[in-house]
């Protein structure tokens, strides 16, 4: 099947992807694509990335059996522990890759958008590590919801720019980051936080995140009787932890499941459209006005989905499910009680679907499920307290 390959110079994943940006940004996109292609086939670059992921970010991350929850659900649930990376989410995998690329391209400053603040924190961290400046755009509403991460970014030396337009969440932060990128493209590198944006970003971010899936594949091969789990599950905002996870299993028999927030479920309720430089499934009205996403998890408040997910859906290789806020909170608490693991609200979406499906028989008893726990929940404590 023609999925999860190199999308070529036009950046197409089936009918999706592409490069819908103003002419002013086209040369920058070309430059980044060329630099990435070169770096990705350069063993020295790859070696440096692997080294930093290991000694700095803490990879490989463990695959932890959820012992008690598995027993309760009658399945074998394995957790890929991205929450244990430095900065506490999978975002660091992508950011170290892109920051190294920015440095290689001679850029002085990194721009980023952030929703939950995890990508912003990771960007601020990588910038500090490599001696670059970081400017992070964040919706005003998310700044309120994720105060702790704003402080973390500032302590790390990044400038956090509040975005007051539109819904004041992730989608507007993306618009604002793009606008600033256009006017500072000479010395600034735009470090996109998920598998979205114009080509080469969706592909490049997938390549930087595939480490999740590749490690998990090896760990499963070592731990499981049949080597491959029956289900591979991850939550989806833009879709980077999910795509990175799927990349390790796409050529196996494992069923791939992406879980979206009910209020931001572009794969389920979206229609084809163009947003933030790429064509994919987008939540929008009849006229093409993009609608606001709503979720307890700031990192999933995104009205689109990475173009490769739209393609995987159309090709029937992955399926996409939704869960609501209540199920998510319950799942978060249940994992905390049974395993002593406090997962991010985002990651708890994947868990909520597994719990529902296992309890309803949607996942057959005795099945093996590999779930990517994309991040830790410390940042969400205040929101969780409010909702209890």
Ligand X SMILES: Cc1ncc(COP(=O)(O)O)c(C=O)c1O
Tell which one of 138, 235, 283, 341 touches ligand X (CB under 6 A): 235
Dihedral class, residue 87 (left if φ above 0, else alpha if ψ from -120 to 50, else beta): left
Kindly state whether residue 375 participates in binding ligand X, applying the rule CB under 6 A: yes
When the beta carbons of 58 and 74 are compared against ligand X, the nearer one is 58
CB of 119 or CB of 276, closer to ligand X = 119
Map the chain to HEC letters: CCCCCCCCCCCEECCEECCCCCHHHHHHHHHHHHHHHHHHCCHHHHHHHHHHHHHCCCCCCCEEECHHHHHHHCCEEEEEEHHHCCCCECHHHHHHHHHHHHHHCCCCEEEEEECCCHHHHHHHHHHHHHCCEEEEEEEHHHHHHCHHHHHHHHHCCCEEEEECCCCCCHHHHHHHHHHHHHHHCCCEEECCCCCCCCCCHHHHHHHHHHHHHHHHHHHHHHHCCCCCCCEEEEEECCCHHHHHHHHCCCCCCCEEEEEEEHHHCHHHHCEEEEECCEEEEECECCCCCECCCCCCCHHHCCCECCHHHHHHHHCCCEEEEEECHHHHHHHHHHHHHHHCCCECHHHHHHHHHHHHHHHHCCCCCCCEEEEEECEECHHHHHHHHHHC
Cα 233 to Cα 211: distance, rounded to the nearest angstrom: 16
Position 264 contacts ligand X (CB under 6 A): no
Choices 266-274, 332-340, 354-362, 376-384; region in contact with another protein by CB under 8 A: 266-274
Q: Is 213 in the site for ligand X (CB under 6 A)?
A: no
Tell me the Ramachandran region of residue 276: left when phi exceeds 0, alpha when psi lies from -120 to 50, beta otherwise.
Answer: left
178 binds, among ligand X, another protein, none (CB under 5 to 8 A by kind): another protein
Asked if residue 30 lies in contact with residue 19, where contact means CB atoms within 8 angstroms, the answer is no
Contact between 273 and another protein (CB under 8 A)?
yes
Closer of 229 and 270 to another protein (Cβ): 270
Minimum CB separation of residue 95 from ligand X in Å reads 12
279 or 367: CB nearest ligand X: 279
Residue from 2, 10, 316, 366 in contact with another protein (CB under 8 A)? 10
Residue 89, contacted partner among ligand X, another protein, none, CB below 5-8 A by kind: ligand X
User: Does 374 qualify as catalytic in the annotation?
Assistant: yes
Q: Which does 288 bind (CB under 5 to 8 A by kind): ligand X, another protein, none?
A: another protein
Task: Map residues 116-135 to x or -, x wherever contact with ligand X holds by CB under 6 A.
Answer: x-xx----------------
Q: Which is nearer to another protein, 200 or 244 (CB)?
A: 200
Annotated catalytic residue within 113, 215, 339, 346:
113
Catalytic annotation present for 165: no
Site for another protein in 281-320 (CB under 8 A): 282, 284, 286-290
Binding to ligand X by residue 301, rule CB under 6 A? no
Report the residue number, 116 or 257, with the smaller CB distance to ligand X.
116
Please say if 113 is a catalytic residue.
yes
Task: Considering only residues 152 through 171, tell me which ones interact with another protein, judged by CB under 8 A.
Answer: 165-166, 171
Binding site for ligand X (CB under 6 A): 89, 115-116, 118-119, 194, 235-242, 299-300, 344, 346-347, 374-375
Active site residues: 91, 113, 374
Binding site for another protein (CB under 8 A): 10, 18-28, 165-166, 171-172, 175, 178-179, 182-183, 185-186, 272-277, 279, 282, 284, 286-290
């Amino acid at each position: 099947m023609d999925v999860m390959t190199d999308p070529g110079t036009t950046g197409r994943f089936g009918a999706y992807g592409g490069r819908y940006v103003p002419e002013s940004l086209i040369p920058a996109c070309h430059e980044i694509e060329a630099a990435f292609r070169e770096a990705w086939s350069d063993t020295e670059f790859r070696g440096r990335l692997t080294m930093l992921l290991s000694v700095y970010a803490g990879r490989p991350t463990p695959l932890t059996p959820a012992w008690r929850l598995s027993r309760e659900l009658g399945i074998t649930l394995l957790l890929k522990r991205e929450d244990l990376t430095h900065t506490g989410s999978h975002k660091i995998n992508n950011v170290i890759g892109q920051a190294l690329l920015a440095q290689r391209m001679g850029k002085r400053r990194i721009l980023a958008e952030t929703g939950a603040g995890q990508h912003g924190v990771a960007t601020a961290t990588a910038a500090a590590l490599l001696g670059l400046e970081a400017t992070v755009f964040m919706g005003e509403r998310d700044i309120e919801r994720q105060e702790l991460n704003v402080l973390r970014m500032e302590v790390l030396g990044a400038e956090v720019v509040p975005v007051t337009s539109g819904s004041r969440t992730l989608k507007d932060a993306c618009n604002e980051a793009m606008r600033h990128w256009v006017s500072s493209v000479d010395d600034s590198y735009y470090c996109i936080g998920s598998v979205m944006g114009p080509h080469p970003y969706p592909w490049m971010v997938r390549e930087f995140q595939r480490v999740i899936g590749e490690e998990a594949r090896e760990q499963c091969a070592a731990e499981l009787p049949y080597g491959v789990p029956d289900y591979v599950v991850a939550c989806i905002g833009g879709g980077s932890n999910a795509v990175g996870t799927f990349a390790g299993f796409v050529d196996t028999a494992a069923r791939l499941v992406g879980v979206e927030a009910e209020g931001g479920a572009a794969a389920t309720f979206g229609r084809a459209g163009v947003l933030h430089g790429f064509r994919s499934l987008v939540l929008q009205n009849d006229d093409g006005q993009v609608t606001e996403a709503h979720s307890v998890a700031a990192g999933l408040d995104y009205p689109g989905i990475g173009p490769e997910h739209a393609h995987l859906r159309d090709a029937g290789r992955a399926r996409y499910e939704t869960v609501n806020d209540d199920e998510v909170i319950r799942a978060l608490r249940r994992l905390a009680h049974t395993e002593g693991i406090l997962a991010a609200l985002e990651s708890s979406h994947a868990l909520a679907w597994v719990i529902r499906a296992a309890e309803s028989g949607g996942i057959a008893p005795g099945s093996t499920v590999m779930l990517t726990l994309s991040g830790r929940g410390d940042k969400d404590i205040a929101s969780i307290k409010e909702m209890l």
